[in-house]
Amino acid sequence: MTAAPVLALSSAPSAHRPRRSVRGRQLWWLGAVVVIWATSLVVLAVWVAGGEVQSLLAGRADALNSVGRAAGLASANLLFSQVLLMARVPLFERGFGRDGITRMHRIVGFWSFALFIAHIGLQILGYAAQAGIDPVAQAWQFVWDYPGMLLATAGTGLLLLVVVTSVRKARKRLRYESWHLLHLYGYLGVGLAIPHMLWTGADFTGSPAATVYWWAMWGGTAATVIVFRLGLPLARSLRHGIRVRAVERDGQSGVSVRMTGRRLDALKARGGQFFVWRFLDGAGWTRGHPFSLATDPANGELVISARFVGDGTQRLAALRPGTRVLIEGPYGTMTADERRGGHLLMIGAGAGVAPLVAMLEEADWAPGEATLIVRDHTAADALRAEAIDRLVRERGLRHAPLPGRRALTTSSWLPTSHAQWAGADLIRYVSPRPADTDVFLCGPPSWMDAVRADLRRAGVPAERVHLEAFTV
């Protein structure tokens, strides 16, 4: 155990005072849940009012068509929820948090597509049974003879493209920029797939009220995308006039970009939050990249730090001072407000240390009350080294750098130099009162999963482990 970091523990009382009540977060969550369930219940009501229960009980072709319509309605409603979740609507951002939305987006997306495929198959079989024709012939009739079905077929192809490229193995083979561009075709796929329900769907053609609701729901969803993904970000960007001030090397394989602008305090950004950034430096500027703030925004500038891992991050190093910047955000709920008091333990890997440093700069904590554990492949790769040294020197941060290759043990988040340690023991070593510890995590998903497993073993309550992802 000689390789373990020797840290002086402190029991100094916390000076932290949360700025946002837990009750406020719960109210946002309740509002978001009510919206999701309300739309689901309306869809169920539309299906029942259309006489589908009687059709289901009739059996044979009627039953196939009834179940097929149910699958189609459920799929469309999930598509609605998926688009709404990713529209950056404050209700869902504050209620579910970016990490929760990311998980829901993946689950909802795959279930929606599965139900969509079931809807197509069941409707083909049901209509073919009623007409007494071959299912292949019925499918051909659907595409060419029914209003809106040709558009729906094109939309299905686009949605299939999005689903296939979102599978983890396929996504790893794509550059982030290429995957993100392909993912945007999902919006077009939804737009093409929905109209046929209003033109040919029995549950809508016989109910003006259901038709009005359906158009209003999708019109409102389109409006949220336009407002929160396009209008509001553009207005904020023009208002604050953000430009690159300086580009600096950060560690051996990273870069920091410092930006200034007008009235940045009006953004109300917090350490730990992130923006989607677009730098107007030439072709390809439309591709947005999510980067967390790397320093407390109250310092009067916006700073991001990133590792060189793709075209987007490599491009940061070539930015010139004065380059205009478009922003979306701030997003995320992983801020110092989540802290409940007691010891503050920050654990980050690679570029994940940046938002943790920003939170440490902003949060109130006494000397010796906060610990930062940092994982890197090599010591030279460490980001935000100067900022961390300043926190150690001026505020009494306990810093434990753990560079090296990952250990081939149960606690795989540790380096090989600490392979003899059980991860839970190391956590209890740096934080002897795990039940009174707030832990903030940021790093690769698989790495964070390994840390969370050891946090559970160490006795850290699940509600005091805070993490957030902003990829889908």
The residue whose two tokens read 């600096």 is 248
Backbone phi and psi for residue 414, each to the nearest 5 degrees, phi listed first: -90, 160
The residue whose two tokens read 């906060």 is 370
Distance of CA 383 to the CA centre of its chain: 23
Tokens of 173: 């083979």
Answer whether CATH 1.10.1660 is correct for domain 22-228. Answer: no
pLDDT at 176: 61
Query: Domain 238-331 in CATH: superfamily?
Result: Translation factors (2.40.30.10)
pLDDT higher than threshold 70 for residue 22: no
The average pLDDT across 458-465 equals 92
Same fold, 22-228 and 238-331: no
pLDDT higher than threshold 70 for residue 174: no
Tokens of 413: 């988040």
What's this model's pTM, rounded to 2 decimal places?
A: 0.77
Backbone phi and psi for residue 328, each to the nearest 5 degrees, phi listed first: -125, 125
pLDDT higher than threshold 60 for residue 471: no
pLDDT at 26: 80
Backbone phi and psi for residue 318, each to the nearest 5 degrees, phi listed first: -95, 0
Instruction: Indicate the fold that domain 336-467 takes in CATH.
Output: Rossmann fold (3.40.50)
pLDDT at 354: 93
Residues in the chain: 472
Comparing 30-34, 100-104, 345-349, 421-425, the range with the smallest average pLDDT is 100-104
Confidence of residue 19 (pLDDT cuts 50, 70, 90): very low
Average of per-residue pLDDT values in the chain:
83
- Alpha carbon distance 23, 1 (integer Å): 43
The residue whose two tokens read 């380096």 is 415
Backbone phi and psi for residue 208, each to the nearest 5 degrees, phi listed first: -60, -35
Comparing 215-219, 244-248, 376-380, the range with the smallest average pLDDT is 215-219
Confidence of residue 72 (pLDDT cuts 50, 70, 90): confident
- Alpha carbon distance 219, 435 (integer Å): 48
Per domain, the residue ranges of the chain are: 22-228, 238-331, 336-467
- Alpha carbon distance 305, 319 (integer Å): 13
- Alpha carbon distance 221, 77 (integer Å): 11
The end-to-end CA distance of the chain, in Å, is: 39
- Alpha carbon distance 191, 189 (integer Å): 5
pLDDT higher than threshold 90 for residue 203: no
pLDDT higher than threshold 90 for residue 282: no
